[in-house]
Structure 1
């Protein structure tokens, strides 16, 4: 029997929970937490579920569902994190908390979809809690997250969890096959580690250049040749991402400022300065994390090749280069130690606010010493 929501077809848990809740036969909960890797289909499922909720009882159910899918139904509110990629109080105050107390415009229900639930700060969470605890009967909240472990327990405990599975390598490769050569599609699918959005990023746009830069750094450490400072390109890319995020915040302020009362403009500028700094750093860290993740996977691939399991290599379209690097090792101990060093640096950048350029440069020299154990 096909799933009532096509986006849950490959997700048994989500299918079981949501199919049973689809009206008119189902009794939907007031709050759901859709969790699973990026690119697993959570957004599509949220749109389809919202469409089913809003179409229930409508005079023209098909039209109501279509408008919900297209994002133009007046009783559907879709919230994304602000320019700093953090859900702050202002993101949800009016759009969710206040709006959820107002009766629907045309449907029996109002549906609120909130992306990036794991980025919600304490102030936003405190505002959201009362709505989650005592929602109006017509309000339904759907929270989306790629990192359920980072969702605040007070939020997580008040939602019904809906799990979405990671897509298989074959499914990801099939999605990319019409856009890049088959060997590249398979490699990007493997390197994505179940993240559909990452697979697409690695295959298209600046993805190939990112892969090349990460490979250059990893292979330079293996070759004991850091004279060319191969980490520089990764830092420059991260800096460019940071500048882009900052500009997005500045552009948003420039667009909003003319419509604000004069007495509020100074406050808006101060808030935008803080938001811009957070957005800039977050974008830099995310870009470096992507790059270092690939460095770690290269070292891991060389290690499994040394161990006699080349079929496990993620850089499958670069298997010859991986094998060439592996030929210089009698064992994989130093390579595995290198993977641990990469993970330590990624953690330090994300959680300890380490200085990016110093952390990455130090990592390069530590990797060079670690993989000297052959």
Structure 2
């Protein structure tokens, strides 16, 4: 357990103090920190220790918990397109927490994406947090602590996980995945401490997303919006959404083959809804990540124009960044204003029903800001 949190001093001190022989675990924890910091691994290892305590075969109980097949471990993920639904926690967590454990002394509930709970879901969970059964332990995970309702935060013990440094992320990409050094350095810097994003940027569709974001940013910098750079980002988002929906459909179909006819038909109907949600999540996440990369390109142009090229994130495309800094008539203040417009668009993406219109409008705003 402790080796999982060895590089996270705060998490190490709190979780080690909760374990036997001297420790007494809290009823609820809130693991917070950037994506890829190790919260999921730590939650599974912590749950394994809690469920192994008092077991007739602790090693077996620990192994099953780590494998995710222990009957007293419940792992919940958001099923909504952009939020956790009430149904995600009502029976799996709130209802199940009232029932005694199957075989262990405890029941452990891990809730990923706790920041995506809407008010209704959060308020339902609140009662369980306020009056938990003595055998129930909840572990909430979030990448965005600021989005957790204060009423939830105040009833959990906060456990902080640190972001990996760019050097650590780069080394991980090179040694574990064989990513070339310069590409690994760029992906690590562009990930802003998010290990999952660093991996996504370095492999698979990551280079394509980077190219798409770069074209979008440079089209605004050089007044080339006739190329309609937003269309390529939308196409990439749709393709990723299709892949996510297909994966859900295939999983539902495989599961349905093992069910009686009536339940199989119900599972397939529910699977259609789940596929649409998966498509929407992947689609929205791709656009958000693409916009983040657009902003980082403009930011790199700004710091280069300011005479600090050593601070850029796109270290593998330093020549292109330098060329943009030299050729653009925009001042560094205008470039920073443009970065602000991108961040505003990322925030508004959740509320805007027309992504194509929003992306096209943003490109026009960027051009006007950058070209005066």
- The normalised TM-score by structure 2 is 0.91
Give per-residue Cα distances to partners, 1:164-185, cap 9 Å, x unaligned: 1111111111110132100000
The Cα shift of 1:336 comes to 1.2
Deviation larger for 364-373 or 246-255: 246-255
Can you give the 5+ residue segments of structure 2 that lack an aligned partner in the other structure? none
How many residue pairs get aligned? The number is: 368
Deviation larger for 231-240 or 271-280: 271-280
- Residue 341 of structure 2 is matched in structure 1 by 341
Deviation larger for 45-54 or 82-91: 82-91
- Residue 298 of structure 1 is matched in structure 2 by 297
The Cα shift of 1:264 comes to 12
| CA gap 1:254/1:346 in 2 versus in 1, 3 angstroms | same
| CA gap 1:292/1:95 in 2 versus in 1, 3 angstroms | same
Q: Does 1:120 align with 2:132?
A: no
* Within-5 A mapping of 1:1-12: 5-12=2-9
- Residue 188 of structure 1 is matched in structure 2 by 187
The Cα shift of 1:123 comes to 3.2
For the 8 Å contact 1:190–1:314, the answer to whether it is kept is yes
- The normalised TM-score by structure 1 is 0.90
For the 8 Å contact 2:253–2:268, the answer to whether it is kept is no
The Cα shift of 1:103 comes to 1.9
Q: Does 1:165 align with 2:162?
A: yes
Distance 1:182 1:188 in 2: 10
Distance 2:7 2:290 in 1: 30
Q: Secondary structure at the match of 2:31?
A: strand
Distance 2:260 2:295 in 1: 48
Distance 2:113 2:352 in 1: 21
The Cα shift of 1:58 comes to 2.1
- Residue 142 of structure 1 is matched in structure 2 by 139
Give per-residue Cα distances to partners, 1:235-254, cap 9 Å, x unaligned: 10112233344455656666
Give per-residue Cα distances to partners, 1:200-255, cap 9 Å, x unaligned: 10001100010011111111222222222222110101122333444556566667
Deviation larger for 287-296 or 234-243: 234-243
Distance 1:273 1:155 in 2: 32
* Within-5 A mapping of 1:1-374: 5-82=2-79, 84=81, 86-178=83-175, 179-247=178-246, 269=269, 278-329=277-328, 331-350=331-350, 352-373=351-372
| CA gap 1:272/1:57 in 2 versus in 1, 3 angstroms | closer
Deviation larger for 355-364 or 278-287: 278-287
The Cα shift of 1:121 comes to 2.5
Deviation larger for 149-158 or 165-174: 149-158
Give per-residue Cα distances to partners, 1:22-51, cap 9 Å, x unaligned: 122101000001011100000111011111
Distance 2:20 2:229 in 1: 57
Can you give the 5+ residue segments of structure 1 that lack an aligned partner in the other structure? none
For the 8 Å contact 1:245–1:279, the answer to whether it is kept is yes
Distance 1:124 1:265 in 2: 28
Q: CA RMSD in A?
A: 2.5
Distance 1:221 1:291 in 2: 15
